[in-house]
A = this chain, B = another copy of it.
Amino acid sequence: MSLISRTAEASLADIMMDMGRRGRAASARLAGLSADQRTKGLVAVADAIDVSAAPILEANARDMAGGRSKGLSDAMLDRLALTPERVQSISKAVRDVAALPDPVGREIARWTVPSGLDISRVRTPLGVIGIIYEARPNVTADAAALCLRSGNAAILRAGSESLQSSFAIATAIRSGLEGAGLPADAVQLVDTTDRDAVGFMLAGLEGNVDVIVPRGGKGLVARVQKDARVPVIGHLEGLCHAYVDVDADLEKAVNIVVNAKMRRTGICGALETLLINRSIAATFLPAVAAPLRDLGCELRGDDAARKILPDMVAATDQDWRTEYLAPILSVRIVDDMDHALKHITTYGTSHTELVITENTTTAERFLTSVDAGIVLHNASTQFADGAQFGMGAEIGIATGRIHARGPVGAEQLTIFKYVVRGTGQTRP
């Protein structure tokens, strides 16, 4: 069983370049379909995943056995594990994407210029999207579905731990596409753990990859930044801050901070550093520390914070730079909002930043000043999520500065072209 034809002689380079050409050809066909045809394809993909639950679970059992023998942590094994319910939730996510509005061909703007030309900006697919990810097998279906919804072909590179599961899901997706009369090569999975495959993708497969979306840890991100020769829509760190202002409602602030830190500690929107206005620190810090510690959260504070709660671990500069993704929170006492803004500018990763205050003027200044994909006022950073934003789904949260920031959904996987209709105009 292979998603790509391979002969004994074919080199990895040949195989990868062939994937690129197939992806390009499939993307041209996909872009020419109607929204309705893409929707039918997505529904067929969801059906095929349901029908293929048994082989997907069998493949996952092999991944799990491999993971256990490699000594993966319980947390990693839990991310990797599939159950019949989890397979259903994977197909359900595809059905949700099928129900999203199709962005391709949508007119964004239209105007007429003095020469009489009728000009419109129309959404078009990006083309072929290379997605390099780790661990969770459900990304295979999520990424494929968002690419299909936006008329793009996907070339997927799964992590080695989840390769069997991802392969089984991709096989189901391809059979679903074929059954619906869509090109199976709209979704291809790299069928090898050879790390050189990533290098070929980052080099662009001879111009046949238009953008790379990396989803993974620091090692992957560093490699992508170093080697990518095609544009990257980056999903880097989420070192999220909350600033609790002098005018905060302290009960509200406790609820928000506890939720932002502890609802799920392993997601990129989880709170990592708490900045507390000095005037309220003596009251607020003990009030928020108690429920955090009850939930098992370790607190690391600066000197001022440790004067209030002496049993805190001392925070070092490294703490301000660390995305824990764990039940640990660093705490700093700041003189005022400008001090907080300076901390965020120095240590933030432009992901999600939060101000908690009842003072609207203060809030608006924070929202305007902070340079991040998502800026929040009086709501948990755990809302940093495409579905919570009403975008249906996301392929990640972009922390770069071009093309898209914040949750990247189907619409953000498109670009536009200018369509100009004339009546014989020549330029003077």
A positions within 8 Å CB-CB of B? 28, 31-32, 105, 111, 113, 115, 117, 119, 124, 126-127, 210-211, 225-226, 229, 231-233, 249, 252, 255-256, 258-260, 263, 345, 363, 367-369, 371-380, 382-383, 388-390, 400-407, 415-427
Determine the chain B residues whose CB is within 8 A of the CB of A407 once the complex forms. 418
Out of B377, B404, B417, which one reaches A374, CB within 8 Å? B417
A32, A252, A402: most-surrounded residue (chain B CB, <10 A): A402
| For the complex of A and B, 5 pairs with smallest distance between CB atoms | A379-B422, A259-B426, A382-B427, A379-B425, A403-B403
Given A225-B229, A375-B420, A406-B416, 18 new contacts (CB under 8 A)? A32-B368, A32-B369, A127-B371, A231-B401, A258-B426, A367-B421, A374-B417, A376-B420, A377-B421, A378-B422, A379-B420, A379-B421, A379-B425, A380-B426, A380-B427, A382-B427, A401-B415, A404-B415
A interface: dominant SS: mixed
Residue of B nearest to A413 (CB): B402
The answer to whether B422 and A377 have CB atoms under 8 Å apart is: yes
Distance between Cα atoms of A418 and B394 in the complex (Å): 15
* Contact for A419 among B31, B105, B375, B427, CB less than 8 A: B375
Central interface residue in A260, A418, A419, by most chain B CB within 10 Å? A418
Chain B residue with the shortest CB-CB distance to A385: B427
State whether A420 touches B111 (Cβ < 8 A).
no
Q: Are B378 and A425 in contact (CB under 8 A)?
A: yes
B426 lies within 8 A of A389 (CB): no
Of B249, B252, B406, which one neighbours A418 at CB under 8 angstroms?
A: B406
CB-based contact B368/A427 at 8 Å: no
Asked whether, in the complex, the Cβ of A31 is within 8 Å of the Cβ of B105, the reply is no
| A415 surroundings in chain B (CB, below 8 A) | 401-405
Nearest B residue (CB) for A232: B231
Q: Contacts A259-B426, A374-B420, A380-B426; is A402 near B402 (CB within 8 Å)?
A: yes
Say which residue of B119, B233, B258, B405 sits within 8 Å of A416 (CB atoms).
Answer: B405
Assess the B427–A390 pair: CB atoms within 8 A: no
Task: Collect the chain B residues with CB atoms within 8 Å of residue A418's CB.
Answer: 373-375, 389, 405-407
Closest to A228 in B: B229
* Given A252-B424, A418-B375: A115 and B211 interface contact (C-beta under 8 Å): no
**When chains A and B are docked, how far (Å) is the Cα of A166 from the Cα of B173?**
56
Is the pair A426, B263 in contact by a Cβ cutoff of 8 Å? yes
In the complex, A402→B113 CA distance in Å? 26
Give every chain B residue within 8 A of A127 (Cβ-Cβ). 371, 401
- Smallest beta-carbon distance A71→chain B, Å: 33
Closest to A225 in B: B229
Residues of B within 8 A of A126 (CB): 401-402
Q: Would you give the shortest CB distance from A302 to chain B, in whole angstroms?
A: 24
Q: Compute how far the CA of A368 lies from the CA of B127 in the bound complex, rounded to whole angstroms.
A: 14
Min C-beta distance of A426 to chain B, whole Å? 4
Asked whether, in the complex, the Cβ of A367 is within 8 Å of the Cβ of B419, the reply is: yes
Q: Give the distance to chain B from A345, nearest Cβ to Cβ, in Å.
A: 8
Q: Nearest residue in B to A406 (C-beta to C-beta)?
A: B418
A423 touching B378 by the CB < 8 A rule? yes
Task: Tell me the complex Cα distance, A211–B401, Å.
Answer: 8
Q: Which B residues are in CB contact (< 8 Å) with A263?
A: 426-427
Q: Please tell me if the beta carbons of A210 and B388 are within 8 angstroms of each other in the complex.
A: no
**The one of B28, B259, B424, B425 that contacts A249, using a Cβ cutoff of 8 Å:** B424
Chain B residues near A363: list those with CB within 8 A.
421
Q: Do the beta carbons of B31 and A371 come within 8 Å of each other?
A: yes
Complexed CA–CA distance, A256 and B421 (Å): 13
**A65 vs B65: C-alpha distance when bound (angstroms):** 75
User: Which residues on the B side are within 8 Å of A345 (C-beta)?
Assistant: 28
Task: Find chain B residues with CB under 8 A from A119 CB.
Answer: 389-390
How far apart sit A210 and B234, CA to CA, in the bound complex (Å)? Answer: 13
